[in-house]
Amino acid sequence: MARGRVECTIIRQASSETYGHRNKWDYVLKQSYPLNGRIHGADIIFRARKALKTVDNDTSKSRSGSKKYSDSLPLVYRDLEIDDRNKILRGFCEAINYGGRVLQFIISERLYPITSLTDLEEFKTAFRDIFHVIHYLAISKDVIIHGDINISNLMCRRLEDGSIQGVLNDWDVASASHTESGSDHTNMRTGTMPFKSRDLHKDPPPVHMERFEYESLFYVLYWICLSYSDGKLLPAKERHSSFKRWPRWNSNDHDDVREAKIGLLNDETIFEDVDKFPAMYRPLVQTWLVRLQVQFIKGYYARYMSKAPGQRSEEEFDDYTLGGYVSYKSIRKILEN
């Protein structure tokens, strides 16, 4: 599957495996170019982990098992940032100087895509782990929003006891309220075209909020169910026929991509024939995809009706959760199946 366009970062990765040294300390070296003035990836991961450790402490008695929310973040071993003040070193490290951006290197653990999992229950576990992390960071004191939920950054690691833990990776465009409130980046378009909320295709886009992350999860799940099975991307002839719409979703035309997403939410027939979907994810079509689709349909319709004459004023409508239809509680209930 062609990767969507990430508008605020350029990524290049290498691994210790490249040099034949793969082991339990296997690592990934990532080079990126976040905008100058933004909070950077390693810093946001540190703050996110701190916020999630507070959640771990608060929920330790009620949470079953030994897994912790703070472990659903990537382990960062080293990071280095080089701005234009060090022109000689920066010139040595890169062929092109991306003006207005900081050259950043992060060495982190090697993770594996959740699409590489061949067991559906393990996939569901990893997906739920990431969902919970999104919520707890969004309601934390720092209001941390990832801002770029897509297929390539939903990852996992295998724990020592053999179980799976979902990990949300790639924090280059994440935001935190106390660091960016009122800045030039508050209403910046971030994210990957096929997976961002339909509201984020507006110009100017609204400030990121928690439900945008949930809508991105819905689109990610949709495209995974169309084109993956048994741990791999399927050949074109084995994917669902709706995969032919991918080029439209992955274009640079915000209006057209938004219309494509509205079309998906209004399509009552696409999920009817479960057998058309790749085998591994068929059980999720009715239990997750259809029910998530219904929540977004009801939520966006409720917002539309709130603007109709004689209805409650638009100011009274809870746009943060689309009238309660797209809340942590409502989505969690679906993902528990």
Residue 55 phi, psi (nearest 5): -65, -40
Does a structural domain hold residue 3?
A: no
**d(Cα 23, Cα 317) in Å, to the nearest integer?**
53
Domain for residue 87, yes or no?
no
Counting the structural domains of the chain, the total is 1
Q: Which amino acid is at 55?
A: V
Cβ neighbours of residue 122 under 8 Å, at least 6 residues apart?
156, 164
In a domain, 11, yes or no: no
Q: What sign results for the dihedral spanned by CA atoms 237, 245, 126, 49? A: positive
Query: In CATH, what number is assigned to the domain containing residue 128?
Result: 1.10.510.10
Residue 58 domain-assigned (yes or no): no
Q: Do the domain assignments include residue 199?
A: yes
CA neighbours within 13 Å on the CB side: how many for 177?
12
Beta strands in the chain, from DSSP E residues, in sequence order: 12-15, 27-32, 76-82, 103-109, 112-113, 144-145, 154-158, 164-168, 175-176, 228-229, 232-233
What's the confidence (pLDDT) of residue 294?
Answer: 97
pLDDT per position as a tens digit, 109-163: 999 999 999 999 999 999 999 999 999 999 999 999 999 999 999 999 999 999 9
pLDDT in tens, 194-230: 999 999 999 899 999 999 999 999 999 999 999 999 9
Q: Is residue 23 part of a domain?
A: no
Which phi-psi region, left, alpha or beta, contains residue 75 (left: φ > 0; alpha: ψ -120 to 50)?
Answer: beta
Q: pTM to 2 decimals? A: 0.87
Task: State the residue for tokens 């209403």.
Answer: 187
Q: Which domain holds residue 182?
A: 112-336
Query: Would you say residue 187 lies in a domain?
Result: yes
Report pLDDT for 104. Answer: 78
